[in-house]
Amino acid sequence: MVQLKTIATEQRNPDTLYIDQADSLEIVRLMNAEDKKIAPAVERVLPKIAAAVDMICRQLTGGGRLIYCGCGTSGRLGVLDASECPPTFGVEPGLVRGVIAGGPDALTNAAEGAEDDAAAGEADLHAIGFTAKDVLVGIAASGRTPYVLGAMAYARSLGAPVIGLTCCPGSAIDTEADIGIAPQPGPEVVTGSTRLKSGTAQKMVLNMLTTASMIRMGKVYSNLMVDVCATNQKLEARAVSIVRAATGADEQQALDALNAAGFSSKTAIVMLLCSVDAEEARALLSRVQGHVADAVLSQPDGARADAAARQAL
């Protein structure tokens, strides 16, 4: 039997003992007060998050993948973060992938028993061809979930780096990871309901892991997501807006450049800032592994163009 009294996320919150007697406004006030504790908790583990970002970048640039593994809310958060990377950053599907105990059906239907199967964690990584080139992030608020521990053990047996994301410092997942990230947002508003504060803390960290990694890999110029995939009308409009914001071009100039660039925002931006055609813009980007700033700065007057672009608010 699991000893819940030893798990930080299972403790009772002294500030919400009478929440069952509160009216609706007081309930949400109490929840909001607890939520204010999450960002400071994440702030305290930023050095660990930064180290994890460096690890992820090394694996991705070496031809590997970022794999999230979790159960229940933790697993769903991993799948969510992974699924948003292709449209946001233009990466191929599968570069960032979420694996959840119980399989895809567990995304919409609870499969709580699946978390107790350590062998399934190993089997699910084996099924997606996990290798030493990849990096695994094991996610579990409690830090003790057998499914995640099984996946972590398998990843380590292959020589792959492993990151742990929990809300319980010193837990099995935290200590067995190469890098353990364990923000402590405190006891939940409703005891043990880790979809609340713990889930929010985990989502904040996951957002940082992928976003910071993609920034480091050249998927962002200034603060613009320049590798966005324009797969619908809204995203086409966003691409035009991004090119305009980065270059100061008018709508028609931006659209013309995008059309010439095959609707690659990166290529269109370099074309306009460096006054080159699409072929030369692609060549400039290729030389600097797709980093727009480096491509622009490599050209005469590039520093001036880059500075002007960053101030074109």
Beta carbons within 10 angstroms of residue 114's beta carbon: 22
Alpha-carbon distance of 146 to 118, in angstroms, equals 5
Tokens 């699924």, residue located: 83
What's the length of the chain?
Answer: 313
Q: Tell me whether residue 280 is one of the annotated catalytic residues.
A: no
Q: Rounded to an integer, what distance in angstroms lies between the CA atom of residue 305 and that of residue 200? A: 39
Residue 177 sits at φ, ψ, to 5 deg, of: -85, 155
Q: Helix or strand or coil: residue 283? A: helix
Residue 115 known to be catalytic: yes
Q: What is the spatial distance between Cα 290 and Cα 185, in angstroms, rounded to a whole number? A: 38
Selected catalytic residue, list 26, 34, 43, 115: 115
- Residue 28 and residue 16 in contact, taking contact as beta carbons nearer than 8 Å: no
- Residues annotated as catalytic are 84, 115
